[in-house]
Amino acid sequence: MRRPLHYCLVAAILTSLASVPTFGQEPNVEESTPRSAGQSFPWFGSGTDRNDETEATRDGQQGNSPLTGAMKPSLGSEQLRHSYWVPGFQSSTTIRSTSIDEPTRSDWNSMNYLLGNVSLHHAWGNADLSLNYSGGGYFSTDRGEGNGFLQLGGISQTFRGRKWQLTFLDEFSYLPQSFFGFGVGSGISLPGIGGSLAPALPGLQTNYQPSQSVFTSLGARYSNAFVTQAIYAVSRRGSIDFIGSRGTLRFVEPGNFDSDDTIFSIGYSYAVTRKDTVGVLYRYTSYQFPGNPQAFGDHVAHFAYGRTITGRLGLQLFVGPETTTFRLPIDGKDRHVGMSWGAALNRAAGINNLAFTYTHGLANGSGVQVGSRTDQVEASVTRQVSRNWQLSGNVGVARNGSLGTSAASFGSQDFDSYYFGVGLRRPVGRNASLLLGYSAQIQTSSQPICAAGFCSDSYTQHQITLGFSWHTSPFILR
């Protein structure tokens, strides 16, 4: 266990460094014989391009996370026995047309990104370490945005015993704009080298991520979510899980509301059949706003249902009561009682995939509100339209409704945000690919938003992106 513990310490160090700003797809390739440690070889297996997967090639545990856990449902993953790392880089040029005050006024500018990427996977008999990271700079012709740098990534360390599993997961980013809809159609929002060689980190449920679903929050921001999840099998069919999480959202420029969230959750999952699971969970979230006297305590009790068909379908549904207490009264009340619900879906048909998430409940306010009642929907689809061309599509909708007026807020305002995008990817040679994408971001608000000397209650941005990515063949660690 000494080497897994050593890499867990490395994971913790990288996580702590994630809060400090620093500078830093995959075509199919043929299988070959592995070389000695430290050398590169072309390929050692991936399930993304297989049409005849069986349950024997998948772990079947919804990404090794229970129904009531913190992770999104997955289709299971192949048991990678090799340990490797892969470096690469990507660049893209985005032409943007932005209208924020009226439909007749439009400003054109360009944003150029240059990123270094790395993906790493290290496996032991009872532990796994996975890392995807991208970092670099951007250069903009928009004088208001200027030049800067960005980073985003995720790191996961898992330990397993006969009846238990312990996972540490961290997702972090430093971006010049909201992560909601960022890089849609361009691949920039996906850390690491992308493609089938990037280790598949478990994705966090929306409730465990600091919300950023308002486009007109000002300037660059740091976001980090660190989750610890412990699972214990109490019987052959039942498991209990304990979750602790810390989320942080910090803005570089004034005029936004920073936020912290601390989450504790306990849940029980029971497999009714091989494919169907039911569960119950209780989750408590504490929202704090540094520099602001307001704070919230949010209590949620969920009944859950999940269905898993390994390699083809992962589904989760949640619903239950939600009670929120306010440190400072809002509209003369110190609490609110309502309902919270959510859904998540992953579906695969051969090499074509669909992912969908929906949540309704309390959120941090995305930097423009001191808390909000939020509905958020995101969906993505990928389809192999020919041997060399892959088509992707993304859509997102979010409504951030005001909680009301209190001594700690500046009035009441609602925001509706939408994004959609499409992208075409084509391999170039063995380890490179080209991408062409289009995306749009649209936002409306119940009151005008003032920026750069003018005010508007609507915002629209169109983006056309041409990108290139390349990575080496994997370097084997052992």
* pLDDT, tens only, 38-82: 333 322 323 333 333 333 333 333 445 799 999 887 775 555 567
H-helix or E-strand spanning residue 11: helix 2-17
Query: Token pair 């996977």 is at which residue?
Result: 121
Distance between CA atoms of residues 273 and 313, nearest Å: 15
Query: Span 268-280, mean pLDDT?
Result: 95
- Counting Cα atoms < 13 Å in the Cβ hemisphere of 395 gives 7
Q: Could you tell me if 89 and 108 are in contact, meaning their C-beta atoms sit under 8 angstroms apart?
A: no
The residue ranking higher by pLDDT, 62 or 90, is 90
Residue 266 above 80 pLDDT? yes
Alpha helices in 126-273 (DSSP H): none
Between strands 147-160 and 127-140, the pairing is: antiparallel
φ, ψ dihedrals at 5, nearest 5°: -65, -35
Q: Give the whole-angstrom CA distance, residue 237 versus residue 85.
A: 36
HEC secondary structure over 91-108: EEEEEEEEECCCCCCCEE
Q: What's residue 201's pLDDT?
A: 86
Overall average pLDDT of the 303-323 stretch? 92
| CA 122 remoteness from chain centre | 22
Reduced to 3 states, what is the DSSP secondary structure of residue 295?
strand
Q: Which helix (H) or strand (E) holds 289?
A: none
CB atoms within 10 A of CB 314: 23
Residue pair 83/230 in contact (Cβ under 8 Å)? The answer is no
Per-residue pLDDT, averaged over 295-324, amounts to 94
Q: What's the number of domains the chain is made of?
A: 1
Sign of CA dihedral 365, 369, 370, 372: negative
pLDDT recorded at residue 76: 59
CATH number of the domain within which 214 lies: 2.40.160
Span 83-109, average pLDDT: 78
Pairing mode of beta strands 390-402, 276-288: unpaired
Task: Extract long-range pairs of 334-340: CB within 8 Å, 24+ residues apart.
Answer: 336/403, 338/373, 340/300, 340/302
Tokens of 354: 């669909």
* Containing structural domain, residue 390: 2-476
Q: Which residues make Cβ contacts (< 8 Å) with residue 59, sequence separation at least 6?
A: 76, 77, 79, 310
> Which phi and psi angles does 2 have, rounded to 5°?
-65, -40
Q: Does the structure show a pLDDT above 70 at 18?
A: no
Residue 24 pLDDT more than 50?
no
In this prediction, residue 4 has a pLDDT band, given cuts at 50, 70 and 90, of very low
Cα 147 to Cα 112, 244, 273, distances in angstroms: 9, 37, 55
Backbone angles phi, psi at 57, to 5 degrees: -95, 0
Q: Map tokens 């620093």 to a residue.
A: 22
- List the beta strands (DSSP E) in 364-451: 372-384, 390-402, 415-428, 432-451
**Which distant-in-sequence residues (6+ apart) come within 8 Å of 436 by Cβ?**
423, 424, 465, 466, 467
The closest alpha carbon to 303, from 279, 322, 282, 285, belongs to 279
**For 345-388, how does the pLDDT look when each residue is reduced to its tens digit (9 = 90+)?**
999 887 789 999 999 999 999 999 999 999 999 999 999 999 89
pLDDT digits (tens, 9 = 90+) for 108-120: 888 899 999 999 9
Write down how long the chain is: 478
